[in-house]
Amino acid sequence: MTTDAGDAPLTVDELAARAGVSVRTVRFYGSKGLLPPPVIGPRRVGHYGPDHVARLALIEELQHQGMTLAAIERYLRQLPPGLTPHDLAIHRAVVASWAPDAVDTVPRRELERRAGRSLAAEDLERLTAMNVITEAGADTFRVDSGLLRLGVQLLDVPLSQEAILAARKVLIEHSRAAAHELSQVFRGEVAERDARDVKSLSAHMHPLVVQALLTTFQRSLREELSEWVTRPEPAGPGSGTD
């Protein structure tokens, strides 16, 4: 169990309260192996950490998407080992994207409640630029619920708005290209099937493809960043050796 600075260990009651589920649910997930066991502290009290909070949130999201416990168990078993709470949060965000697009029109107070923080004019401008929200009227906004959590997290990333938008453009272009090429691969498999079979195959392939893309991208990005960090700085003018 990893514990970040400032994250005090939680009892099972505190974990359940944090996740909005019952203690019985937490214990049930643990008995099924969906949650790792707690660290046993003094007086034989189990202590839980950020890993448990993030994994429990992921399990709840998977259930919300209609997956059975058996399917959830298979999904969790396929996750790479050693995932951090942040990694698990990314997986949860991807799982949430399986749901149909949800765009709501809400007043600013409700938008801030969903964001979990107050939003200054600059924050609203950045969220608008990222297409997370659009102004719908006086202090009213249309919000893409699937993107809101990510957009709010990006508000605190020390990157310029231009860099974030450039990264978004790259991701959209390459994800569309990947989706097109994958659709061509699967097209031959469904050509002779009726509409019901095609819909069923699509429902099963969606989470699997998203999972595969996420895992592949995480590994590729980790390798790219590692190479970038360890790559020697290019020699400047006049810095050559005699």
Tens of pLDDT, residue by residue over 130-178, are: 888 999 988 899 998 767 877 888 888 887 878 877 887 887 788 778 8
Q: How confident is the model at residue 6 (pLDDT cuts 50, 70, 90)?
A: very low
Q: How confident is the model at residue 198 (pLDDT cuts 50, 70, 90)?
A: low
Which of 55-64, 124-133, 233-242 shows the lowest per-residue confidence on average (mean pLDDT)? 233-242
Tell if the pTM clears 0.85, that is, is over it.
no
Q: How confident is the model at residue 208 (pLDDT cuts 50, 70, 90)?
A: low
Distances (CA, A) of 81 to 33, 111, 221, 223: 15, 36, 17, 17
| Sheet-wide strand order for 133-137 | 103-107, 140-144, 133-137
pLDDT value of residue 101:
58
Q: Which two tokens stand for residue 110?
A: 């409700």
Q: DSSP strand E in the chain: where?
A: 39-40, 46-47, 103-107, 133-137, 140-144
Q: What is the mean pLDDT of residues 14-20?
A: 85
Whether residue 242 is predicted with pLDDT greater than 60 in this model: the reply is: no
By the 8 A CB rule, do 123 and 155 touch? yes
Mind listing the pLDDT tens digit for each residue in 82-96? 888 888 887 777 777
* Torsion (CA) 34, 60, 51, 79 in degrees, nearest 10: 60
User: Could you tell me the sign of the dihedral formed by the alpha carbons of 58, 64, 69, 73, in that order?
Assistant: negative
Between 42 and 127, residue with greater pLDDT: 127
